[in-house]
Every structure is written in structure tokens, then in C-alpha cells.
């Protein structure tokens, strides 16, 4: 399927690995021009280098950073059509998972909201005027299944993502009539560095359960989370949905929340 993205300009945050890297690779393959943002680059992102890719090293905890990333798209490629707010998870200095609401104080809550909600708010604020100049655009906010599945684990992260999902609905209603579609993709557990890296979540669970990292990801975690498919999702599976929502092929889809979560959410 031709996603009709050739020549369109996109910004992707958290682009050096995981879902963001897969989104960047997919958009480039579809002919888009991409400004990819991350704190630092990676060998995998460097391998995509070419005239249609600009990397912006930025720390989204800095209030000015989202606007500067969006401005770089206008400077490099003349405008903006697509914004993918993918960056998220534990901000610098914060370790997840938590076990209880009582495990996080005010500073941890502030940091979590800065990274997972406020950075997206700032990026959207900068992107909307550029999109309106071009007659519209598409914004995809990467939320989480935990936005709709309350849990005492990672409660501050879940609350920030719930705010992002709510924000998406509001933006869709206000700017949809002006040609800007805004949707949410909510992954469940995905085989990203947060799980797979040495010292990551899989290793933490493996130490507690007396098993291996692979056994956690292949058997223990899918069972604990009651995943319908029996496995964690791959980053590309999430990226494919994001690319479709960014595409004119989804021209009448807005204000929607797409779960790419292995069947994690079972409520209506």
C-alpha cells in the first residue's frame, strides 16, 4: 500500500531506538523527510543517514527543546506535515518499574510529567501553526495501555500518559475542522531497550523470579500481563500503525486511540 507520504515532512521524537527508530525508518522508506530527535544518536539511526534525514540532539526535559526541534523541520525542509510524539518512559535519573504510589515523591512526579506530557504539549504548540500554514497535518501521540489500565505500578507514568490520551481528544476536536488530525497509539509491552537492555526490566524481573531475561520476555511477562497473543509486540508493529495514522490514507480518522498491545486491554 502506498501511504502517500512522499515529500511530506515529519518530526519524530525519541528516534534513536525502539519505536521511534522504527517509525523514522518507515517514514523514510515511504518517501518522507524526517527530523529525528533524541538525546544522542545511535548506530542504527546513523545507518539511515541521507538527504531526507536530519538528526537533532535534544533533551526534551528542557522547555525550549520541543519548539527548537519543530523549528528545525521548517528550516531544513520548509514546513511540517507530521508530528510523532514518541519520546517517553522514565526520564533521566528515574528508574521504573515502581511498586507503589508511595515510591515517588514530588520531584519524580514533576520529571515524569515533564518528559511524558509537557514535552508533547510544547511540541504540539510549536507544530500547529506550521501545519495550518500547509492546510493541515497529522499528529500521533504515543501513549500507553497503562493510560486506560490503572495500576499501582508506575502510577506517575500512567497518569502522565492518561493526560496525553486526554489531550489528544481535545486537540482533535479543536483542530480537526482546520485539517489537523490527532490520534493516539497506545502500546502495551514492547521489545525495546527498556525491556531488553542489560539491567533493564527483564533483568529485574528475572532476578526476582530466579530465571533468565529471555524467559521473562518470552513466558513470564506475557503470562503475568495476560497478553492475548502470548508475546510482547515488536517496535515495527507499533511503527506500522503510527505510519498509517500519519498517512492521508487515514484522512477521516481523528481523535482515536489505537491499542497495539498484544491484547493487554480487555475492557470495552
> Average pLDDT, whole number, for the chain?
95
Q: Name every residue whose Cβ is closer than 8 Å to that of residue 180 and which is 6 or more positions away in sequence.
A: 128, 131, 132, 136, 137, 138, 139, 171
Are 202 and 186 members of one domain? no
> What CATH number is attached to the domain comprising 93?
3.40.50.720
Residue 256 pLDDT > 90: yes
Are 118 and 16 members of one domain? yes
CA distance 127 to 123: 6
The per-residue pLDDT for 198 is 83
pLDDT (mean) for 178-200? 92
* 221 or 66, higher pLDDT: 66
Percent of the chain with pLDDT over 70: 100
Residue 267 lies in a domain: no
Residue 47 lies in a domain: yes
Are 89 and 110 members of one domain? yes
Are 206 and 120 members of one domain? no
pLDDT (mean) for 138-163? 94
Are 208 and 121 members of one domain? no
Domain that holds residue 212: 191-232
Residue 179 pLDDT > 90: yes
Residue 202 pLDDT > 90: no
Are 65 and 178 members of one domain? yes
Q: Name every residue whose Cβ is closer than 8 Å to that of residue 47 and which is 6 or more positions away in sequence.
A: none
Percent of the chain with pLDDT over 90: 83
Which residues belong to the active site?
157
Name the grid cell of 120. 508533547
Residue 265 lies in a domain: no
Least confident range of 103-107, 116-120, 129-133: 103-107
Name the grid cell of 46. 546513523
Are 129 and 223 members of one domain? no
Are 80 and 207 members of one domain? no
Are 121 and 81 members of one domain? yes
Are 62 and 79 members of one domain? yes
Are 216 and 182 members of one domain? no
Residue 2 lies in a domain: no
DSSP at 91:
P
Query: With bands split at pLDDT 50, 70 and 90, how would you rate the model's confidence at 185?
Result: very high
Residue 35 lies in a domain: yes
Question: pLDDT tens digits for 8-23?
Answer: 999 999 999 999 999 9
The per-residue pLDDT for 53 is 98
The per-residue pLDDT for 58 is 98
If you search the block for the grid coordinates 515510591, which residue do you land on? Answer: 103
Residue 257 pLDDT > 90: yes
Question: pLDDT tens digits for 66-97?
Answer: 999 999 999 999 999 999 999 999 998 888 88
Residue 130 pLDDT > 90: yes
Residue 228 lies in a domain: yes
Residue 114 lies in a domain: yes
Task: Name the domain count of the chain.
Answer: 2
Are 27 and 155 members of one domain? yes
Residue 200 pLDDT > 90: no
Query: With bands split at pLDDT 50, 70 and 90, how would you rate the model's confidence at 209?
Result: confident
- The H or E element containing residue 149 is none
Residue 173 lies in a domain: yes
Amino acid at each position: 500500500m502506498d501511504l502517500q507520504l512522499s515529500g511530506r515532512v515529519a518530526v519524530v521524537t525519541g528516534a534513536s531506538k525502539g519505536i521511534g527508530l522504527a517509525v523514522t525508518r518507515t517514514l523514510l522508506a515511504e518517501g518522507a523527510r524526517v527530523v529525528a530527535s533524541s538525546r544522542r544518536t545511535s548506530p542504527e539511526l546513523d545507518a539511515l543517514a541521507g538527504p531526507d534525514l536530519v538528526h537533532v540532539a535534544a533533551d526534551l526535559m528542557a522547555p525550549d527543546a520541543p519548539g527548537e526541534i519543530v523549528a528545525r523541520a521548517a528550516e531544513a525542509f520548509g514546513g511540517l506535515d507530521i508530528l510523532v510524539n514518541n519520546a517517553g518512559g522514565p526520564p533521566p535519573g528515574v528508574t521504573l518499574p515502581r511498586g507503589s504510589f508511595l515510591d515517588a515523591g514530588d520531584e519524580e512526579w514533576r520529571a515524569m510529567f515533564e518528559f511524558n506530557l509537557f514535552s508533547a504539549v510544547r511540541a504540539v504548540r510549536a507544530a500547529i501553526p506550521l501545519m495550518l500554514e500547509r492546510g493541515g497535518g497529522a499528529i500521533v501521540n504515543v501513549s500507553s495501555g497503562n493510560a486506560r489500565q490503572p495500576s499501582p505500578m508506575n502510577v506517575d507514568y500512567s497518569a502522565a500518559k492518561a493526560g496525553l490520551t486526554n489531550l489528544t481528544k481535545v486537540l482533535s476536536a479543536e483542530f480537526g475542522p482546520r485539517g489537523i488530525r490527532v490520534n493516539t497509539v497506545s502500546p502495551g509491552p514492547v521489545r525495546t531497550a527498556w525491556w531488553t537492555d542489560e539491567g533493564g526490566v527483564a533483568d529485574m524481573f528475572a532476578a526476582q523470579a530466579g530465571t533468565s531475561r529471555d524467559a521473562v520476555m518470552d513466558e513470564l511477562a506475557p503470562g503475568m500481563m495476560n497478553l492475548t497473543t502470548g508475546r510482547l509486540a515488536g517496535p515495527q508493529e507499533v511503527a506500522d500503525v503510527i505510519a498509517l495514522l500519519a498517512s492521508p490514507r487515514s484522512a477521516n480518522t481523528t481523535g482515536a486511540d489505537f491499542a497495539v498491545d498484544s491484547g493487554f486491554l480487555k475492557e470495552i
